[in-house]
Amino acid sequence: MRLYERYFAKQIYLTFAFVLFACSGLFFFFDLISELNSLRHGNYKFSYAILRVMLQMPSRFYEIIPVVTLISAIHVFAQIAASSEFTIFRVSGLSTHRALGSILRIGVPIVVLTFVIGEVVTPYTHQLSERVCSKMLSPSASSQVRSSVWVKDTLSGNGKTAYITRFISVREIKPDATIANILIYEFDSRFRLASVRTANSGCYVRPGQWLLYNVTETRLHNISPASSTDKDVLNPVYRSEKVSMPKYQMHSSLTPKILSVLLITPDRMSITNLLLYVKHLRDNHQNTQRYIIALWSKVFYPFAVLVMLVLSLPFAYLHTSARVVGIKVFAGIMLGISFQLLNTIFAHIGMLNTWPALFTAAIPVLIYLALGLLALHWINHH
């Protein structure tokens, strides 16, 4: 790393750490205030609220790192420009292309940091946060699901089992991967309702096998009409049979990992979990648009740090007095907020209009990259 690169890197990293600490402090305060509403339930105390908010902070870091990078870089370049240091660098032979290459190299560690937080730290701490909430709240509120999780399960027919389609509702998913308050609608190969099954609890015993407890099953058996000309819709075409079982072993393609994925919003899932759930949705012939967009967004999001650095570099060429530094920082904040807003808008519009996921995720990053490069091109020729 060249001498001026080390100087830029030191200034940007120090400012980045300070701004990230300040912004995370604000988010911590607001998240803690919203968490105080849960203090009235069960054994949930103020100390647990602080712990849960702290466990949610890595996800906040992940969300604000590009904006923090932009603010930090603009502040550093504005200060350097105001003190004429950048002018000295340019007179010494620092071209726009070399400055751009240097700023991209400086951003690589922040890109790696963003990727590690989004893929390793955030999913783990989010699960720990939900476990804290689940254990400390009262039993009536201990489920991690506000209403219920619905998931489709399809078993392809083979020599031993027939083709089965199930729609499974789970109201509680506990930290030890057991489930409770289960409702299962099972359909045969002709998509006729074959049974309705309820269970108090269940656990995953081995791959492809769930053990359900206290099961009540209502089986529906088809009845042939009295005559082929009988078309009275009020005549029963099936009979029901109710069976109670203390235990029931159910073959299923679901796993606890797939169910736990459903508790996390797509933007907080890791790429591995997104790939796993997209595969499950495709195997069950379900719409994957939302999760594929989230997958590509996770791929492109760390590189938004480099785009923010490209956007910040033109501010170094705007030589103004030190009093205007605050205006430049404010402009950086507005640019960062507009990027986050555009990123969110494109994700929703792409999902509604079924745009290609790669295009939907990449276009906000490409738009702001083009803006930064155009600004540098204009500065280089004027």
Tell me, letter by letter, the H, E, C secondary structure of 336-377.
Answer: HHHHHHHHHHHHHHHHHCCCCHHHHHHHHHHHHHHHHHHHHH
For the chain, count helices (H), then strands (E). 11, 6
Among 139, 143, 151, 360, which residue's Cα sits nearest to residue 261?
A: 151
The predicted-structure confidence for 294-329, as pLDDT tens digits, reads as follows 899 999 999 999 999 999 998 888 766 656 677 777
Are 183 and 154 within 8 A, CB to CB?
no
The mean-pLDDT minimum among 20-24, 60-64, 98-102, 135-139 falls in 135-139
Tell whether the model's pLDDT for residue 90 goes beyond 60: yes
Tell whether the model's pLDDT for residue 114 goes beyond 80: yes
Tell whether the model's pLDDT for residue 227 goes beyond 60: no
Per-residue b or e along 263-302, where b marks 16 or more CB atoms closer than 10 Å to that residue's CB: ebebbbbbbebbebbbebbeeeeeebbbbbbbbbbbebbb
Q: How far apart are CA 216 and CA 148, in angstroms?
A: 19
Tell whether the model's pLDDT for residue 12 goes beyond 90: yes
Residues constituting the chain: 382
Would you state the pLDDT for residue 307? 94
Among 258, 171, 245, 161, which residue's Cα sits nearest to residue 207?
A: 258
SS3 9: helix
Query: Between helices 304-312 and 96-116, what is the axis angle to 10°?
Result: 150
Backbone angles phi, psi at 319, to 5 degrees: -80, 110
DSSP 132: H
Q: Where are the beta strands (DSSP E) in the chain?
A: 149-155, 164-173, 179-187, 193-206, 209-222, 238-251
Q: How far apart are CA 87 and CA 247, in angstroms?
A: 78
Which pLDDT band, with edges at 50, 70 and 90, does 122 fall under? confident
Tell whether the model's pLDDT for residue 146 goes beyond 60: no
Which pLDDT band, with edges at 50, 70 and 90, does 124 fall under? confident
Among 275, 295, 303, 271, which residue's Cα sits nearest to residue 360?
A: 295
Which pLDDT band, with edges at 50, 70 and 90, does 15 fall under? very high
Q: Which is it for strands 164-173 and 179-187: parallel, antiparallel or unpaired?
A: antiparallel
Whole-angstrom CA distances from 117 to 65, 120, 339, 373 are 10, 6, 20, 28
Tell whether the model's pLDDT for residue 262 goes beyond 60: yes
Would you state the pLDDT for residue 81? 83
Query: Between helices 46-82 and 122-136, what is the axis angle to 10°?
Result: 150
Q: How far apart are CA 239 and CA 227, in angstroms?
A: 17
The mean-pLDDT minimum among 22-26, 316-320, 328-332 falls in 316-320
Which pLDDT band, with edges at 50, 70 and 90, does 228 fall under? low
304 CA to centre of own chain? 16
Would you state the pLDDT for residue 143? 43
Tell whether the model's pLDDT for residue 1 goes beyond 60: no
What is the percentage of the chain residues whose pLDDT exceeds 90? Answer: 31
Among 348, 350, 343, 344, which residue's Cα sits nearest to residue 365?
A: 343
Would you state the pLDDT for residue 137? 56
Tokens of 352: 């509604």
Tell whether the model's pLDDT for residue 21 goes beyond 80: yes
Among 8, 20, 18, which residue's Cα sits nearest to residue 76?
A: 8
Would you state the pLDDT for residue 107? 94
Q: How far apart are CA 39 and CA 37, in angstroms?
A: 6
Stretch 108-113: mean pLDDT, rounded? Answer: 95
Q: Which parts of 117-158 fold into alpha helices (H)?
A: 122-136
Tokens of 262: 């459903």
Stretch 363-371: mean pLDDT, rounded? Answer: 92
SS3 319: coil
Among 375, 341, 266, which residue's Cα sits nearest to residue 67?
A: 341
Q: How far apart are CA 276 and CA 68, in angstroms?
A: 31
Beta bridge partners of 168: 151, 184
Would you state the pLDDT for residue 145? 46
Higher pLDDT, 8 or 143: 8
Give the contacts of 187 (CB within 8 A, at least 6 positions apart). Answer: 164, 165, 166, 167, 193, 194
Q: How far apart are CA 376 and CA 367, in angstroms?
A: 14
Q: Give the predicted TM-score (pTM) of the model.
A: 0.78
Whose tokens are 């990078």? That residue is 69
DSSP 158: -
